[in-house]
Amino acid sequence: MTPRSGAGGGSKKPQNRTAKPRKRSTAPRAARVLRSAKTDAENPAQTEVEQLALELQQARERQAATSEVLSLIADAPTDLAPVFDRIVRNAARLCQSVLSAVYRRDGDHVHLVAHDQFSAASVAAVRKAYPAPLTSKNLISVAIRERRVVHEPDVLVSGGYSELQKTSGYRSILIVPMLRDEVAIGAIAVMRLEPQLFPKAQVELLKTFAGQAVIAIENTRLFTELQERSRQLSQSLDDLRAAQGSLVQTEKLAALGRLVAGVAHEINTPVGTSLTVASALINKTKRVEADVAKGDVRRSTLSEFIAASREAASQIMFNLGNAVELIQSFKQVAADRNVSDRRRFDLGEVTEQVVRGLRYGLRGQNLTVAVECEPDLAMNSYPGPYGQVLTNLVLNSAAHAFPDGGGGSVHIAAQASGKGNVEVQFSDDGCGMSPEVKRQVFDPFFTTRRDQGNTGLGLHIVHNIVTNRLGGRIHLETKPGAGTKIQIIMPREAPRESAAE
């Protein structure tokens, strides 16, 4: 077989390669040297750009993490668990730590409320150590108690190791207290395996997380307090409404009672007069009857008896007519008050009926009540509540407008006002009101005569009836010494009861 070329020692290729060596160009080498030198010269700038880009990326991550926590706080103002969980996760990730935790202070003890990357052994160690006394040498307790940042590069050297350190093996720890008005309410901690200090940027980030935890805790506290306060106010409002309803009913019954007493007193006059006339007529009849029995009846005596009988019957009819009219008026007002039905009526007639009943009860106070109503003011409304308004206004003037007991007058006028409305003007020539009293006059339970048993609900009832049941509005004008004027504008067609309520 012919041996392969180059397999033995007779090959001439090495001789040829030696005889004709490859000629290398000096130009490419110079270019490579220049490029190498240029690259070496550009490396510091490139490194600086990369460092800035890294810092920018880290800053964006920190900003995204803090924004995420703030979003959780806004979405769940009463749920702290998701906020704390997100804080410990972000702290562990951005601080490159093996452990992170959030602690809360409760009285004289410290509690662990959230943690991240804890092993089963670490969890068991924490459950054994916490809640920890605030006075203990535990670094968490120290940070909260002394309200300062605790930053240990190596806990094995500083002596700050604990059961948690034994189970997890961390060496460095950073603890930032959560301060609210210079009072420590908790702390956030991150731990690393490497014995070294945390970078300044991570320390500041943990301070930011601590501030956000404080915001979350404060939001929860304030929200809880607000809910409790709202609950208390709601309960107080319910109690106030119940008491007000009871007092309003009492006030209505008291006003009706005064009206009944006045009417009953006035009924005695015509009924008493009728009884007197009837008694005198009976006596005269007996005398005439005796004369007839004796057969001694003169024509003049019979004529006188007939005339006296006619006069007596006339007086009895007149007085009993007044009594019937009074009773009918009272029955109408009382029925309207009790039933409060929506019906059609003439405003002037109802106003006269109400005032007629009030006059009888106010005679002893030397107070005159005049009524001037435009005719044919047809209404489809609630005469009972309207009568309550007039009654309260008149009785309020009688009680407050004339404190010296002197005489006075009240004037009530009613007329059409615009399309579909009526205007009722109530005025008195009493002492008027001060600006302070005027400002509160429609408020419930406000009165200047509480020492005399007044409840302060009269004008409050007036305002509520006018603005709610009657669907109108009310305006008051008054000055000290210049009397009081109250304008009531209400629709002829009152709102339905369900809407009015």
Q: Do the domains 340-501 and 62-225 match in fold?
A: no
The answer to whether 202 touches 95, Cβ cutoff 8 Å, is yes
Rounded Cα–Cα distance for residues 35 and 28 (Å): 10
Query: CATH for 62-225?
Result: 3.30.450.40
Taking residue 257's Cβ as centre, other Cβ atoms within 10 Å add up to 11
Rounded Cα–Cα distance for residues 364 and 442 (Å): 28
Query: CATH for 340-501?
Result: 3.30.565.10
Give the pLDDT confidence of 13-53 residue by residue, as tens digits: 444 443 344 444 444 444 444 455 455 455 666 677 666 66
For the full predicted model, state whether its pTM sits above 0.85. no
Give the pLDDT confidence of 136-161 residue by residue, as tens digits: 988 989 999 999 999 999 988 887 77
Comparing 454 with 245, which gets the higher pLDDT? 245
The answer to whether 465 touches 389, Cβ cutoff 8 Å, is yes
Rounded Cα–Cα distance for residues 336 and 59 (Å): 77
Give the pLDDT confidence of 374-428 residue by residue, as tens digits: 999 999 998 888 988 998 898 888 888 887 767 788 999 999 998 899 999 999 9
The answer to whether 226 touches 115, Cβ cutoff 8 Å, is no
Comparing 235 with 88, which gets the higher pLDDT? 235
Confidence of residue 364 (pLDDT cuts 50, 70, 90): low
3-state DSSP assignment of residue 95: coil
Comparing 262 with 284, which gets the higher pLDDT? 284
User: Which residues lie across from 180 on neighbouring strands?
Assistant: 183
Confidence of residue 9 (pLDDT cuts 50, 70, 90): very low
Name the residue among 134, 210, 65, 102 with its Cα closest to residue 218: 210
Token pair belonging to 254: 């008291």
Q: What pLDDT, on the 0 to 100 scale, is given for residue 33? A: 45
CA 266, 453, 339: angle at the middle one, nearest 5? Answer: 55
Token pair belonging to 400: 């407050």
Find where tokens 């040829």 sit: 16
Rounded Cα–Cα distance for residues 163 and 116 (Å): 17
Domain ranges for the chain, please list them. 62-225, 340-501
- State which amino acid sits at residue 449: R
Q: List Cα–Cα distances, 230 to 219, 222, 235, in angstroms.
A: 16, 12, 8
